[in-house]
Chains A and B, each alone.
Chain A
Amino acid sequence: MTVSAAPAEAILEESRGAHRRRLRGTSDARAYGLATITAVYLLWALVPVAITVLFSFNEGRSRSAWQGFSLRWYTWDPTGSVLNDESIRNALSHTVLLAILATIITVPIGVLFALALDRWRGRLPQGANFLALITFVIPEIALAIGLLFMVTYLATPFGLGTWAQVVGLVTFQLAYPIVICRARLLTIGAHYEEAARDLGASAIGAVRRVILPMLFPAILVSAILVFADVLDDFVIVRYLSSDASTETTSMRIYQVARAAPTPALNAMATIILVVSLIVIVAGWLVYRRWTLKQGENTDVASLANTL
């Protein structure tokens, strides 16, 4: 993971104080300029979404003219609200269901594979790793169509619908735990395991008692990423859906956004956003607690770097 300003460098920098002061003028201007660009970028990136959230609380039907605060589109509108529109409720619960199922399957398979890759040399595992990475960058539509054709033209034990969607999502997300856990395993190195083995632990015991706990932060991070990414998935879930019962929130947005949406659509999107945030924040808190206990470096940068 990344080095965040190491002490040695700080000292080095201090010793160059005089030189720095001379340059400070231009450097400050540059910093302010860059800060402005960053601020503008963040506004551009986040304000539209904030407005979408805001209008989910609109009293009227409009998604562009504010007509007063209300929970109408969440609760009390008799037909259109999230609470009363069965198709919206169904989309929400199905989306969360898919995220849970996909995470439960993806993470263990991926973590075990990362462990295996770390020790098992050969063409076979390397080839599988290569394919896993390809699934990460291949246009999603390719994976979706492949699975659609497979389910359609080959006898599979499942038809289109929830399980096809889960299978597609797991395949698409598998690279996350693999990449993240491998990076972590490389920094852990082999000596902990060797030490455990020297103390008489079996290979499985060493993995279970030593490696897995050390790998925990990476597992957690990949689980969060997979979960959040599945909540957002569109292409795979759409191609592999069967009927209205396997519709997700992103599919709903795609279908309704250009037709006759009410702020209930914004409300639905907001709810998924909140679910996503809760999972991330909860995961982050666990991550911090864990790594602080282990006395490890925990900045967001190191997290970002693993992406």
Chain B
Amino acid sequence: MASSPRRPVSRRRLLQTSALALPGAWALAACARDQPLSGPTGEANSAGTSGSGSASPSPSAIPIASPQNPVKWPINPGNEAIASGLEPEANATLRIYNYPDYLDKAVIKDFEKEYADYGVKVEYSTFNDYPEALTKIRSGSVPYDVSFLSYNFMGRLVYGNLIRPLNHDYIPNIADVWEEFQDPWYDQDWQYTAPYVIYTTGIGWRADLIPEDIGARANPYDIFWDSKYAGEIAVLDDDREVIGMTILRDGGTNVNTEDPAALGAARDAMLEMLSLSQPRVTITGYTDIPEGVLSLSQCWSGDMITGQYYMPEGVDASVLRYWSPPNGQGMIGNDFMVVLKGGENPVMAHHFLNFMLGTDVSLKNFSWVGYQPPLRALTPESMVADGYVPENLASAVVRAEWFQVGYPLLELPPAVEAEYQAIWQQFKAGA
């Protein structure tokens, strides 16, 4: 639904996402006007906007971060980081806003135990997709403290004054993660964000139902245009992922293209796919493939790792397969944690981020959600050797060097985003 490099998803959350495709979301969009956008570091806004009359920067005034164009976001006046050395708020209710089941409940319990002296209680609320999250956060109706998001809305989060700059003094555990995530292109100096998990987008299948080696094909993506598998396959319920995959399949590399011709070609190819292979559109591949409802699906790397827990009786998890370009030139992404501006417990929120980044906690969470954190302590070999990832799914391990060559799904200018969504509408309307 949402445009987005999608966060990895696990278990029921996936469902809820696709299923609940609902928006409680733009809920309150109206009230959003209460929080006017502020211009980059206070400079005067030139472009007015239609409608609401509140001053906003023109869409083009918001830079779009990419690996080639790393962005150091402005710190808006009135939105400075908290001071160092503050005591965590006493008896706080720390409000976390995240996808359902995208965080191990046991880890939350551990956090409450660790900070028991401060009487902290964690309240876990959920959203169904990023647009919903963004709209609800904008509305300010609930003072959420911490959220788990991705960079496809980064500019809007900063310019909307929705997130707080981080005070690094509280977050020493950042040292546990890969260096590139201590200075990511989407947030230079990690001023606002701390990394959560990483994932690739690829193809998952059951080897006993699809007896061919997908990776051996000249163009593995072609399988979605193969009428031989009509009715057995699915693509992700996510406009950016499907359009991006189509572009890669046709030899392109710009999965964030703004070129109308390229988008038109992708649309035509997607419609062709509809008539050839009649794919389902779902993000439940992590259960549908293990259960055999689908033989093959476009999916995120973590889906297949989670999928091993959904095997029906009598089928061994060793039949699961995952393919993404072995040279790393496929879609790749990561999610991050942010401290929300509207929260009431910014100090405790910093402590929570720090807690989550710690190696032990991070590993515990990994073994539950199936999505890999960018931890220094993990190597591709150790993940398999230590049983986090079964051997037949070693290809689902995300390698650090892939972030140099992979294609992240970037934030799009709103007008272009509308184009993507129109293509998606047409695709979902069926041929």
Contact between B284 and A61, CB atoms less than 8 A apart? no
Question: Using a CB-CB cutoff of 8 Å, which residues 61-87 of chain A contact chain B?
Answer: 61-62, 87
A60 CB–B CB distance under 8 Å: yes
A251 CB–B CB distance under 8 Å: yes
Contact between A259 and B24, CB atoms less than 8 A apart? no
Contact between B12 and A259, CB atoms less than 8 A apart? yes
User: Chain B: which residue is nearest A246 at the CB level?
Assistant: B24
Contact between A61 and B28, CB atoms less than 8 A apart? no
Q: Which residues of B contact A241 (CB under 8 A)?
A: 22, 24
Question: Using a CB-CB cutoff of 8 Å, which residues 85-100 of chain A contact chain B?
Answer: 87
Interface window among A128-136, A149-157, A190-198, A275-283? A149-157
Contact between A160 and B20, CB atoms less than 8 A apart? no
Contact between A151 and B125, CB atoms less than 8 A apart? no
Contact between A60 and B313, CB atoms less than 8 A apart? yes
B44 CB–A CB distance under 8 Å: no
Query: B29 touches which one: A61, A153, A251 (CB < 8 A)?
Result: A153
Contact between B22 and A259, CB atoms less than 8 A apart? no
Q: Which residues of A contact B284 (CB under 8 A)?
A: 258-260
Question: Using a CB-CB cutoff of 8 Å, which residues 278-293 of chain B contact chain A?
Answer: 282, 284, 287-288, 291, 293
A227 CB–B CB distance under 8 Å: no
B15 CB–A CB distance under 8 Å: yes
User: Chain A: which residue is nearest B97 at the CB level?
Assistant: A243
Contact between B15 and A152, CB atoms less than 8 A apart? no
Question: Using a CB-CB cutoff of 8 Å, which residues 19-45 of chain B contact chain A?
Answer: 19-20, 22-24, 26-31
Min CB distance A56 to B, Å, is: 18
Q: Please judge, given known A-B contacts A159-B27, A159-B141, A259-B15, whether A238 and B20 are in contact too, CB under 8 Å.
A: yes
Contact between A260 and B11, CB atoms less than 8 A apart? yes
How many Å lie between the Cα of A259 and that of B282 in the bound state?
Answer: 10
Contact between B27 and A259, CB atoms less than 8 A apart? no
Q: Please judge, given known A-B contacts A159-B141, A256-B15, whether A153 and B30 are in contact too, CB under 8 Å.
A: yes
Contact between B125 and A243, CB atoms less than 8 A apart? yes
Contact between B287 and A259, CB atoms less than 8 A apart? yes
How many Å lie between the Cα of A62 and that of B311 in the bound state?
Answer: 11
Q: Which residues of A contact B141 (CB under 8 A)?
A: 159
Contact between B11 and A152, CB atoms less than 8 A apart? no
Contact between B16 and A62, CB atoms less than 8 A apart? no
Contact between A259 and B14, CB atoms less than 8 A apart? yes
A255 CB–B CB distance under 8 Å: yes
How many Å lie between the Cα of A186 and that of B27 in the bound state?
Answer: 44
Contact between B27 and A152, CB atoms less than 8 A apart? yes
B167 CB–A CB distance under 8 Å: no
How many chain B residues touch A (CB < 8 A): the figure is 30
How many Å lie between the Cα of A192 and that of B410 in the bound state?
Answer: 74
Contact between A258 and B282, CB atoms less than 8 A apart? yes
A41 CB–B CB distance under 8 Å: no
Question: Using a CB-CB cutoff of 8 Å, which residues 286-303 of chain B contact chain A?
Answer: 287-288, 291, 293
Question: Using a CB-CB cutoff of 8 Å, which residues 99-151 of chain B contact chain A?
Answer: 100, 125-127, 141
A172 CB–B CB distance under 8 Å: no
How many Å lie between the Cα of A4 and that of B313 in the bound state?
Answer: 55
Min CB distance B415 to A, Å, is: 23
Contact between A251 and B20, CB atoms less than 8 A apart? yes
A244 CB–B CB distance under 8 Å: yes
B229 CB–A CB distance under 8 Å: no
How many Å lie between the Cα of A305 and that of B293 in the bound state?
Answer: 43
A254 CB–B CB distance under 8 Å: yes
How many Å lie between the Cα of A251 and that of B15 in the bound state?
Answer: 11
How many Å lie between the Cα of A159 and that of B24 in the bound state?
Answer: 10
Q: Which residues of B contact A159 (CB under 8 A)?
A: 27-28, 141
Min CB distance B281 to A, Å, is: 12
Q: Which residues of A contact B48 (CB under 8 A)?
A: none
User: Chain A: which residue is nearest B309 at the CB level?
Assistant: A260
A242 CB–B CB distance under 8 Å: yes
Query: A260 touches which one: B20, B23, B30, B310 (CB < 8 A)?
Result: B310
Question: Using a CB-CB cutoff of 8 Å, which residues 62-94 of chain B contact chain A?
Answer: none
Contact between B288 and A259, CB atoms less than 8 A apart? yes
B312 CB–A CB distance under 8 Å: yes
A57 CB–B CB distance under 8 Å: no
Q: Which residues of B contact A254 (CB under 8 A)?
A: 19
Q: Please judge, given known A-B contacts A151-B27, A260-B310, whether A255 and B20 are in contact too, CB under 8 Å.
A: yes
Q: Which residues of A contact B30 (CB under 8 A)?
A: 152-154
Q: Which residues of B contact A61 (CB under 8 A)?
A: 312-313
Min CB distance A55 to B, Å, is: 14
A113 CB–B CB distance under 8 Å: no
How many Å lie between the Cα of A153 and that of B29 in the bound state?
Answer: 7
Query: B28 touches which one: A152, A240, A244, A255 (CB < 8 A)?
Result: A152
Q: Please judge, given known A-B contacts A153-B30, A244-B100, whether A255 and B12 are in contact too, CB under 8 Å.
A: yes
A176 CB–B CB distance under 8 Å: no
User: Chain B: which residue is nearest A261 at the CB level?
Assistant: B287
A233-248: contact bitstring with B at CB < 8 Å (1 yes, 0 no)? 0000011111110000
Q: Which residues of A contact B312 (CB under 8 A)?
A: 61-62
Contact between A243 and B20, CB atoms less than 8 A apart? no
Question: Using a CB-CB cutoff of 8 Å, which residues 202-253 of chain A contact chain B?
Answer: 238-244, 251
Query: B12 touches which one: A60, A152, A256 (CB < 8 A)?
Result: A256
Min CB distance A276 to B, Å, is: 23
Contact between A258 and B15, CB atoms less than 8 A apart? yes
Contact between B22 and A260, CB atoms less than 8 A apart? no
**Most chain A CB inside 10 Å of its own CB: which residue of B12, B19, B313:** B19
How many Å lie between the Cα of A238 and that of B20 in the bound state?
Answer: 8
How many Å lie between the Cα of A148 and that of B28 in the bound state?
Answer: 10
Min CB distance B204 to A, Å, is: 15
**Most chain B CB inside 10 Å of its own CB: which residue of A148, A240, A243, A255:** A255
Which 7 A-B residue pairs are closest in the complex by CB-CB distance? Answer: A255-B19, A260-B287, A259-B15, A259-B284, A153-B30, A152-B27, A160-B24
Interface residues of B (CB under 8 A from A): 11-12, 14-16, 19-20, 22-24, 26-31, 100, 125-127, 141, 282, 284, 287-288, 291, 293, 310, 312-313
Interface residues of A (CB under 8 A from B): 60-62, 87, 148, 151-155, 159-160, 238-244, 251, 254-256, 258-260
A sample of 24 inter-chain contacts (CB < 8 A) reads A62-B312, A151-B27, A153-B30, A160-B24, A160-B27, A241-B24, A243-B127, A244-B16, A244-B100, A244-B125, A244-B126, A251-B20, A255-B19, A255-B20, A258-B15, A258-B284, A259-B14, A259-B15, A259-B19, A259-B284, A259-B287, A260-B12, A260-B284, A260-B310
